[in-house]
Structure 1
Amino acid sequence: MTTPSITQVESDRATRATPFVQSGISYGCDYNPEQWGPEVWADDVLLMQQAGVDLVAINIFGWSSLEPRQGEYDFTLLDTVIELLHAHGIRVNLGTGTSSPPPWLTTAHPEILPQAEDGTTRYSGGRQAWCPSSPVFREHALRLVEQVARRYGAHPAVALWHVSNELGCHNALCYDDDTAAAFRVWLEARYGSIAALNDAWGTSFWSQRYGAWAEVHTPRLTLSSRNPGQVLDFHRFSSDELLDYYRAEESVIRRHSRVPVTTNFMVTAHIRNLDYWSWASKVDIVANDHYLDHRLNDPTTELAFAADLSRGLADGGAWLLMEQATSAVNWQPLNVAKNQGEMTRNSLSHVARGAEAVCFFQWRASQQGSEKFHSALVPHAGTDSALWREVVQLGATLDRLNEVIGTRVVADTAIVFSWEAWWAGDNESRPSVSVTYLDQVHAAYTALHRLGVTVDIVSPDADLSGYRLVVVPALYLVTDSQADRIAAFVAMGGHALVTFYSGIVDEDDRVRLGGYPGAFRTLLGITVEEFAPIAPELAVRLTATAGTTLTERATGTLWSERLHLAGAEAVARYAEGPLTDVPAITRNIHGDGAAWYLATAPDPATYRDLMRTITATAGVTAAGPENDGLLEVVRRIGDERSYRFIINHGNTDRELDAHGVELITGTDISRSLCVPAGAVRVIREDIVS
């Protein structure tokens, strides 16, 4: 089977793909009818109508049902379910069915099974038991996609194509021989010569110099730490390899259908293996799966961050929440059930931040299998349950919010986010394993979130000109052009906050010599001669100069530096320890703007105090009041109207100034609005020209 080139696919998308069209916010779920008998299906579609469900993902894990034996296809079940959904006015998000191979395939071709970094094989019996570089797997998978796309490509029920499922969730990094061969091809295309590869990876260290491409392998576990350049490039390659696989499936679908194609991203706290900045332009609409992670200190704020990042991937436009949980999941050490109203608050937090579909895994809670204790729209208890009643209520609420479709979230503050900096900064042999990239990003986001500031999450290559403030947390790896872009933003009058462990290396993970923070020294007006990480159980008091809102209780944690001023002014200094009186926070005038530097990890209250000063100086406009994280206020803006989402996660009622029409209750608001504890309100506001 010949796969069209990327250029051909892009041309095909421009001429054949239609937009994902919807008249209102889609309400949907994954549906796995193969887990149930036909007697249940008719009841299911009636219940879907009762709940207001209008978009259903099917055939996500359908391979073993569609092709029970090699080359023998049976579409009876899928035909029946698609027709049943269509007859009840429910649109289909049609999966290609390739997310997990059937047992006959892994039995006949065990070479498709993935290998872990210790060189051992991972077997079938779970999911994603396939190597992304396996030509045998791709051949069989694309053959199935051809069958599905030919059969349903023009079916009027199909509103969206769903390639595979959560690509790279378990198998993003494969270390087998097929992968090694593909890795060499990728490296040769990137570097052109072995000499250039040796230079990029610094292979003169530890006698690692390569003499031929055949000597290069995947970075399996070693007796010591591994070559960081090799590990970084392997992450890049693995992300590109899975993207290439996505596009191979997409190209098959394109031969038979004009319906838009996507796959579900995993913008969440514990998945980091795919660089979605490189993926986002390759899908017809961005879709994301998000689950509250109760291993975090503040899972609700992380939800807001993930939603803002999903909007960033969609270039500020609409995106789809493809999966979330109605209540508990099944894969955390403690799977916490959601309180009454929490599902609605979570859902509308995504909508407030640009989502135009709210979908769940899954429709009906499974009786068997690994996810039998994962919550669903129809729980094990059935429809006589508080959860089901909230599911129906959420559907009605989303119907009342349909008019927000097409509006956009507008922010004057951005956080720069980089998967490459995440990979490189969290690599082996770093100054402190207690310092992790995502923690520092979340800390900066949380400080802004507590101030009521709406944030865009942007790529290091993004246009920054529309922002007043840009925050750059722990951008360990940065290219010259990316650093220049941030400096130019400040020179033109913008404000930036750069945090420690930024600007340290170039794109090859090569340290920028001359003092830290490398690429940002001139912008920040400082130089650092040495890192001085702080033990995680310790904190160092900070003393502030005039002009900030830092208190006497201000402390720094995890990190400090031997920093020297080179044009900047000290905003705060260490008040104790070996670096007493050394600057910990600085500010530098650069062109028409100002660049701040944070050389330590402040405690949350101190971080908020600092952000309060910086946002005020930058002229940032908050969407809502400063709060303790239990109140979210976000605006979506259209040509004539704006919509203010107010989400009260707390246990007390909140009173806010407001004017307009509250859509959920249908109430006219003339002066103020009370948002009850645990409730959400959405106000339609006329835009005054």
Structure 2
Amino acid sequence: MTHHRLAFGGDYNPEQWPEDVWHEDVRLMREAGVTMVSVGIFSWALLEPAPGTYDFGWLDRVIDLLHENGIAVDLGTPTVAPPKWFYTAHPDALPVTADGNRLHFGSRGAICHSNQAYRAAAARITEQLARRYGTHEAVALWHVHNEYGVPVSACYCESCAAHFRRWLTATYETVDHVNHAWGTAFWGQRYASFEEIDPPRTTPTVGNPAQQLDYKRFADATLRENFLRERDILHRLAPGIPVTTNFMTALSQCDSIDYWAWGREVDLVTNDHYLITDGRRTHVNLAMAADLTRSVAGGAPWLLLEHSTSGVNWQPRNPAKAPGQMARNSLSHVARGSEGAMFFQWRQSRRGAEKFHSSMVPHGGTDTKVWREVCELGAALVDLAPVKDTRTVADAAVLWDWHSWWAQNLPWRPSEDHDARERADTFYEALYDRHLTVDFAHPEADLSAYPLVVVPALYLATEAAALNVREYVANGGTLVVSYFSGIVDEHDAVHEGPYPGAFRDVLGLTVEEFSPLPAGESVRLGAPDGSELTGDVWTEFVVPRGAEPVWTYEDGLAAGRPAITRHTYGEGTAWYVSTRLSAAGLDPVLAAAAADARIAPRPELPRDVELVTRTGETGTYLFAINHTGDEAKVPLPAPGTELLTGRPATGVLPVPAGAVRVVRLEA
């Protein structure tokens, strides 16, 4: 992005309003301090009302009006919503489910991404936009498509079948290699040629899990092919303007995209985040999503491109945000690396499926809590401009891999109660409650910068990942691994030898057998020092092979066996947790591991008070975010200046209930 302020604004859909409203919009944008808006994301039917007939007049006027008022444009390619005339001409571009049902027009994202007519039409509209606006001074960012993988990530039509066969040929070269990777000797599934292979459509009972896993890879790669085609057009015709597409890294919101792969292809990582109001601590999931997004960006600057000013409209219950919560949500993203805070959307719609989704300008207008808080947030982001281009400092890493998640979610695993995402959430929550800032890392990434690495759920682990983890611990790192990790390779084939396969050497143990618990049952764990823990969902028959038992099962089928172990491996240590513990139950385990990692204890802080640091050429900035209803006292490591109030800060920083304070620390 070319401007030097933190980004502030939202999706702007002027086509939903008469032109006389546009001037009022721009006046209010300036009043609120808006720096950038996203335009044109769902406008294909207006920009190309008939095949090959283009109407850019209204978009010209909008972009010029924004530019005249100093507001930058994130310009969308509208390829998430092809016009009705396109589907009338190409009904085969509508996606087909695994059951063979073709979906219909009337929503968004109803696309077969293997369809050649769609690909050609998407390239044409993208080229038209790039030629017209590629040199316009207002355009600071290109926004390709919208939320790839939502709501349709995979299609099972004949076009996809042919495309899948081509992908398999490029990936495996021979059908014999496919047969080996998929284990097609099981249930007599062997293929004589690539032409015999179909997508994993609905079968009488469970289908081939390796085939299903590869189809997820294929579907993700197909979406990415289409992004790259549009990106390359924009790079060619609008050089110098970064290209992005909005991710949805929150693990509960999109499970079909390998964001490690996508993060390498965008010029700027951007993310959409919406609170899941299911009774859990929503700010913890928000922090996790922000940390994951920053990690996908390789620690580089990224941008929160969408979140909500208040309630959303697509959950069973959609509560409003409490006073001050919008600022806390926004600034928590900034603390964790975002270069601003953008929303969906600018003006609340009067029609359509999202008319009850909150916005920057609500139905109630400017005499509302939401609008007043929008203006306050705009002013705060001006004060926080010095943090731009600084980087968030992490204390530990969590290993995460979307391919492993896909594989673990396939049918017929030892317990349906074991959920990889739940384990990631819970381990993250335990680290959060210890006031540790987390990077996420691919299992094959360089881990040497982290004193502590946590593996909450890595069912699928490649040989390269196993070697990487062993070298990390041997060189002095501290590792914590949760159960049912390291079990299979990249083809969902069980690693040869005893469980836990890829990790048994570094953990210094084997597992004779999994012993998942019946629903509602739990087990007690005890330690020599008298401490007790409670596990549920899962137990294992663990056999130490050099590891030291720390907690032992007190009851259940595994009674008397090790439950949690510690193993010295080279210069480092590796911990293993063989049952499901709550975040509170994990705390003493992580405390012991943190001590092994020589992570100094954090200041005594109330639960739900975040401390996050960003640092760079302009200085070091400490964000203190108070999610509680009481004032918090935060000890400062050095004196400084509080950016939002301008006051000097030294010793102990008072952070009012529900407030955020940001201190530029003196060197």
Smaller-chain TM-score range?
over 0.9
**Distance in 1 (alpha carbons) for counterparts of 2:501 and 2:170:** 29
- Aligned AA (1:663): L
The DSSP-based 3-state class of the residue aligned with 1:81 is: helix
Q: How does 1:10-409 map to 2 (within 5 A)?
A: 20-258=1-239, 259-268=241-250, 269-295=252-278, 297-409=280-392
User: Once the 2 structures are TM-superposed, how far is the Cα of residue 581 of structure 1 from its aligned partner?
Assistant: 1.1
User: Once the 2 structures are TM-superposed, how far is the Cα of residue 406 of structure 1 from its aligned partner?
Assistant: 1.5
Structure 1 unpaired stretches of 5+: 1-19
**Distance in 2 (alpha carbons) for counterparts of 1:640 and 1:38:** 42
Cα-to-partner distance string for 1:590-641 (whole Å, 9 max, x where unaligned): 000000001011122211121112112211246654543x211100112462
- Aligned AA (1:78): L
Q: How does 1:274-673 map to 2 (within 5 A)?
A: 274-295=257-278, 297-546=280-529, 551-552=531-532, 554-621=533-600, 625=604, 627-628=606-607, 630-639=608-617, 641-658=619-636, 659-673=639-653
**Distance in 2 (alpha carbons) for counterparts of 1:669 and 1:308:** 27
**Distance in 2 (alpha carbons) for counterparts of 1:164 and 1:622:** 45
User: Once the 2 structures are TM-superposed, how far is the Cα of residue 672 of structure 1 from its aligned partner?
Assistant: 1.4
The DSSP-based 3-state class of the residue aligned with 1:586 is: strand
60 and 624 in structure 1: CA distance in 2 versus 1, 3 angstrom threshold = farther
The DSSP-based 3-state class of the residue aligned with 1:601 is: coil
**Distance in 2 (alpha carbons) for counterparts of 1:668 and 1:680:** 15
**Distance in 1 (alpha carbons) for counterparts of 2:212 and 2:597:** 39
**Distance in 2 (alpha carbons) for counterparts of 1:279 and 1:273:** 12
- Asked if 1 retains the 8 angstrom alpha-carbon contact of 2:164 and 2:199, the reply is yes
Deviates further, 21-30 or 460-469 = 21-30
626 and 500 in structure 1: CA distance in 2 versus 1, 3 angstrom threshold = farther
- Asked if 2 retains the 8 angstrom alpha-carbon contact of 1:560 and 1:599, the reply is yes
Match of 1:683 in 2: 663
624 and 664 in structure 1: CA distance in 2 versus 1, 3 angstrom threshold = farther
Paired residues, what number? 663
The DSSP-based 3-state class of the residue aligned with 2:662 is: strand
103 and 314 in structure 1: CA distance in 2 versus 1, 3 angstrom threshold = same
**Distance in 1 (alpha carbons) for counterparts of 2:154 and 2:11:** 26
**Distance in 2 (alpha carbons) for counterparts of 1:65 and 1:656:** 53
- Asked if 2 retains the 8 angstrom alpha-carbon contact of 1:54 and 1:89, the reply is yes
Cα-to-partner distance string for 1:333-375 (whole Å, 9 max, x where unaligned): 1112111111100000000000002100000000000000000
The DSSP-based 3-state class of the residue aligned with 2:481 is: strand
- Asked if 1 retains the 8 angstrom alpha-carbon contact of 2:613 and 2:621, the reply is yes
Match of 1:10 in 2: none
625 and 24 in structure 1: CA distance in 2 versus 1, 3 angstrom threshold = farther
- Asked if 1 retains the 8 angstrom alpha-carbon contact of 2:435 and 2:610, the reply is yes
Cα-to-partner distance string for 1:247-297 (whole Å, 9 max, x where unaligned): 001121122101111100111122110101011111001001110011362
- Asked if 2 retains the 8 angstrom alpha-carbon contact of 1:454 and 1:623, the reply is no
The DSSP-based 3-state class of the residue aligned with 2:50 is: coil
**Distance in 2 (alpha carbons) for counterparts of 1:597 and 1:340:** 42
349 and 655 in structure 1: CA distance in 2 versus 1, 3 angstrom threshold = same
- Asked if 2 retains the 8 angstrom alpha-carbon contact of 1:412 and 1:621, the reply is no
- Asked if 2 retains the 8 angstrom alpha-carbon contact of 1:623 and 1:635, the reply is no
- Aligned AA (1:402): A
- Aligned AA (2:616): G
**Distance in 2 (alpha carbons) for counterparts of 1:502 and 1:164:** 35
User: Once the 2 structures are TM-superposed, how far is the Cα of residue 412 of structure 1 from its aligned partner?
Assistant: 3.0
- Aligned AA (1:227): N
TM-score scaled to structure 1, two decimals?
0.95
Cα-to-partner distance string for 1:369-404 (whole Å, 9 max, x where unaligned): 000000000001011101000000000001100001
- Asked if 1 retains the 8 angstrom alpha-carbon contact of 2:606 and 2:632, the reply is no
- Asked if 2 retains the 8 angstrom alpha-carbon contact of 1:545 and 1:570, the reply is no
Over the aligned positions, Cα root-mean-square deviation in angstroms equals 1.2
**Distance in 2 (alpha carbons) for counterparts of 1:363 and 1:215:** 51
User: Once the 2 structures are TM-superposed, how far is the Cα of residue 497 of structure 1 from its aligned partner?
Assistant: 0.3
- Asked if 2 retains the 8 angstrom alpha-carbon contact of 1:191 and 1:197, the reply is yes
The DSSP-based 3-state class of the residue aligned with 1:243 is: helix
- Asked if 1 retains the 8 angstrom alpha-carbon contact of 2:603 and 2:635, the reply is no
- Aligned AA (2:585): T
**Distance in 1 (alpha carbons) for counterparts of 2:209 and 2:395:** 36
**Distance in 2 (alpha carbons) for counterparts of 1:298 and 1:309:** 17
- Asked if 1 retains the 8 angstrom alpha-carbon contact of 2:458 and 2:485, the reply is yes
**Distance in 2 (alpha carbons) for counterparts of 1:340 and 1:176:** 48
- Asked if 2 retains the 8 angstrom alpha-carbon contact of 1:287 and 1:321, the reply is yes
- Aligned AA (2:328): R
82 and 620 in structure 1: CA distance in 2 versus 1, 3 angstrom threshold = same
**Distance in 1 (alpha carbons) for counterparts of 2:188 and 2:319:** 50
640 and 87 in structure 1: CA distance in 2 versus 1, 3 angstrom threshold = closer
129 and 484 in structure 1: CA distance in 2 versus 1, 3 angstrom threshold = same
Structure 2 unpaired stretches of 5+: none
**Distance in 1 (alpha carbons) for counterparts of 2:227 and 2:632:** 46
User: Once the 2 structures are TM-superposed, how far is the Cα of residue 430 of structure 1 from its aligned partner?
Assistant: 0.6
- Asked if 2 retains the 8 angstrom alpha-carbon contact of 1:329 and 1:373, the reply is yes
